[in-house]
Amino acid sequence: MDQLLSEDFAHHPLRKMGENPEAMQEQIRPSAYSTQLYKEVRRVHTLYREILNNSKVLDGKRFERGMFLRTMLNFQSRQFKAAVSASLIPGSDLLNHAPADKMSVQWIWREDIQEHVLTCVRSVSAGTELLQSYGCHSNSSFYRCYSFTMPPQREQAWCYSLWKDDAPAVYAEQVPDASAAMKSEVHLTTTEISHSLRDLLTEIAKAGGNAAFFLRSICTAHIRPFEESKKLQPAIASLRLMRSKNPTSAAWWEHLGGPDAAMVDDEMVRIQMSDYMCLVAYLEAISILSGEVEEDRCLALATTLRQLLYTFLLDLHDTYSSE
C-alpha cells in the first residue's frame, strides 16, 4: 500500500490530458490516440461523478477525486487475470517490462490450485533485476496503460484507434447507422483482427457494402495527416529510403541524421510513427487482396495481419455477396 500511495503519476498521459486537454491533443496529433485518451478521461470523470452522487455506495465515506484517479491509474497498470477477471498481485506488479525474448520470469494463473505462479524462464544471477513481459503491444498501448514507450527497434506490434469523430464523412457514407462503431472505438492491430473490427466489417458487408473498400477509405483518410505533418517528414522520408533498399523493413529511424536523429527517442514521435506504421500495414493488406502489390514488398512485421485479413475479407465476400 505504501508503494501504491507513493506512485508518481504527475506525467501520466491521462492526468496530463485531464489537466490540459488542448495542449495534450496538440502534442499527440496526428495520432488518433489523442481522441482515445480524451474519451478515456471523460469516462473516468463520469464514473467519479456517478459514484459521488450515489449515497448508497459512499454511505458517508470520504471520496476524493485525486485518490480516485490514483486508484484508477494504479489498477490500470497493475492488474492481472486471477480468480476474478482482474486482480492486484503484490510483488508481481512491481516487475518491469521486457520483450518476451528478453524476460527472465513469466506468470500464469493456476486455476486448479487457485494461485498466481511466477516462474523463472532462464538463469538469473543474484542481484539481477527480474523482468516480465507485459505483452505484445504497440507503443500507443504501452503509453496509455503504463506511461512509457519502447525503442521502436524493439516494438513488436502496431495499433490504431478508429473513431467516428475523426472521419465522420467515411462513417456517414459506409457504416450502418445502428452500428456500435458509431459510438465506440474500432481497434486496429497487427497481431489479430479485433472483435470490434470484425463486427464492423461484418455489419458493412451484411448491409450490402464493401468491407475492403471501407477499410481502404478509412485508413487513407487517417494516414493523410501523418504524411502532411511537418514534424514527421524526416521519419517518413527515412522510412521510404529504407524501404527502397529493403521493402519489408519498418526501420523509420535508420536514416535519420543530424538533429533529426533525436526523433527516435521522442515518445510522441514513437507513438505517432507506431500509428502510422499500423495504417501502412492495413493499406498494404488491402493492396495484397486487390493484387496491387506482392507479398515480398510488404512489411515483415505485419505478415500475420495480412494472412488473417485476407481470409476474413474473402469469407465475408463469399457469405454476403450473393445476398
In sequence order, the 6+-apart residues with CB closer than 8 A to the CB of 14 are 37, 40, 41, 44, 69, 72, 73
What is the rounded average pLDDT of the residues 98-102? 83
What is the rounded average pLDDT of the residues 16-43? 85
Q: Are 280 and 262 spatial neighbours (Cβ–Cβ below 8 Å)? A: no
Averaged pLDDT score across all residues of the chain: 90
Q: Which amino acid is at 42?
A: R
Lowest-confidence range among 10-14, 121-125, 242-246? 10-14
Lowest-confidence range among 3-7, 39-43, 48-52, 165-169? 3-7
What is the rounded average pLDDT of the residues 90-118? 88
What is the rounded average pLDDT of the residues 228-254? 97
Q: For helices 267-289 and 233-245, give the axis angle rounded to 10 degrees.
A: 50
Q: Are 5 and 35 spatial neighbours (Cβ–Cβ below 8 Å)? A: no
**Residue 56 predicted with pLDDT over 80:** no
Q: Are 196 and 210 spatial neighbours (Cβ–Cβ below 8 Å)? A: no
CA distance 257 to 270: 17
Q: Which amino acid is at 200?
A: L
Which of 204, 231, 229, 230 is CA-nearest to residue 217? 204
CA distance 39 to 318: 37
The distance from CA 135 to its chain's CA centroid, rounded to whole angstroms, is 12
What is the number of residues in the chain? Answer: 323
**Residue 313 predicted with pLDDT over 70:** yes
Q: 162-180 as b/e, with b when 16 or more CB fall inside 10 Å?
A: bbbebbeebbeebbbeebe
Q: Which amino acid is at 180?
A: A
Give the model's pLDDT for residue 248. 97
CA distance 319 to 317: 5
Place 80 in a pLDDT band, splitting at 50, 70 and 90.
confident
Give the model's pLDDT for residue 5. 80
Give the model's pLDDT for residue 322. 62
Domain spans in the chain, listed from the N-terminal domain onward: 1-78, 140-320
Give the model's pLDDT for residue 141. 84
Give the model's pLDDT for residue 301. 95
Q: Are 196 and 185 spatial neighbours (Cβ–Cβ below 8 Å)? A: yes
Query: Omega into 30 within 30° of 0, i.e. cis?
Result: yes
- Tell me the whole-structure pTM to 2 decimals: 0.87
Map grid coordinates 490516440 to a residue.
33
**Residue 321 predicted with pLDDT over 80:** no
| Pairing verdict, β 115-120 and 159-162 | unpaired
In sequence order, the 6+-apart residues with CB closer than 8 A to the CB of 23 are 16
